[in-house]
């Protein structure tokens, strides 16, 4: 009988502990990461759990241009601690071969003291070619605050068009000497 009562406080403590999934904040879950989306982020969320679930659902590691020459990406950066700044820098590197800086852009947060920041960027095929890997970082001075890697893939329609053109070039050409 004594052994049963020894485990009772432990069992009650486990039952009364708040659910850690409910208590998590999005900034803690995604700290140090940048979430990319091809669709705009909602203005508000019902609660933190819905916020986390939505970001996990929309985060893109592979994107494509489709039939267009440009692509619009939404990004949300999460920092490990709050930072006070009026301007952050975004940098995109091509990491397919040797790491090469492709583009830098300024990000102006809505609040001076922030831990979560959202903005959007426009990528073009001339500057960001398809079938390449990229590394995006958000910095404050020389410190990297958040980062992500993504790939721009060729769309199925563009691939079919390119392959048809390649097949046409491989066919033997007949020359008519009339």
Model confidence, pTM = 0.75
Task: Say which residue, 38 or 67, is predicted with more confidence.
Answer: 38
Q: pLDDT tens-digit profile of 21-33?
A: 445 899 999 999 9
Q: Give a yes or no: residue 13 inside a domain.
A: no
Q: pLDDT tens-digit profile of 48-61?
A: 999 999 999 999 99
Q: Give a yes or no: residue 11 inside a domain.
A: no
Q: Give a yes or no: residue 151 inside a domain.
A: yes
Task: Say which residue, 78 or 7, is predicted with more confidence.
Answer: 78
Q: Give a yes or no: residue 80 inside a domain.
A: yes
Q: Give a yes or no: residue 54 inside a domain.
A: yes
Q: Give a yes or no: residue 6 inside a domain.
A: no
118 contacts: CB under 8 Å, gap ≥ 6: 41, 74, 75, 76, 77
The whole domain housing 79 covers: 26-169
Mean pLDDT score across all residues of the chain: 84
Q: pLDDT tens-digit profile of 138-173?
A: 999 999 999 999 999 987 777 788 788 888 777 776
For residue 8, the model assigns a pLDDT of 36
In a 3-state reduction of DSSP, which class is residue 117? strand
- The domain tally of the chain equals 1
Q: Give a yes or no: residue 86 inside a domain.
A: yes
Indicate if the pLDDT at residue 73 is higher than 50. Answer: yes
CATH code of residue 115: 2.60.40.1930
């Amino acid at each position: 009988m004594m052994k049963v009562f020894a485990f009772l406080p432990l069992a009650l403590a486990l039952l009364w502990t708040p659910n850690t999934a409910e208590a998590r904040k999005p900034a803690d879950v995604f700290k140090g990461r940048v979430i990319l989306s091809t669709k705009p982020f909602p203005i508000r969320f019902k609660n933190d759990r819905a916020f986390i679930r939505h970001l996990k659902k929309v985060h893109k590691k592979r994107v494509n241009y489709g039939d267009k020459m440009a692509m619009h990406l939404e990004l949300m950066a999460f920092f490990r601690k709050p930072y006070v700044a009026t301007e952050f820098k975004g940098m995109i590197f091509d990491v397919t071969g040797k790491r090469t800086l492709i583009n830098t852009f300024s990000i102006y947060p809505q609040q001076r003291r922030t831990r979560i920041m959202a903005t959007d960027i426009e990528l073009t095929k001339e500057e960001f070619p398809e079938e390449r890997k990229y590394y995006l970082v958000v910095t404050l001075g020389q410190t990297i605050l958040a980062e992500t890697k993504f790939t721009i893939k060729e769309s199925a329609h563009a691939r079919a068009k390119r392959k048809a053109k390649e097949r046409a070039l491989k066919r033997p050409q007949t020359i008519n000497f009339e």
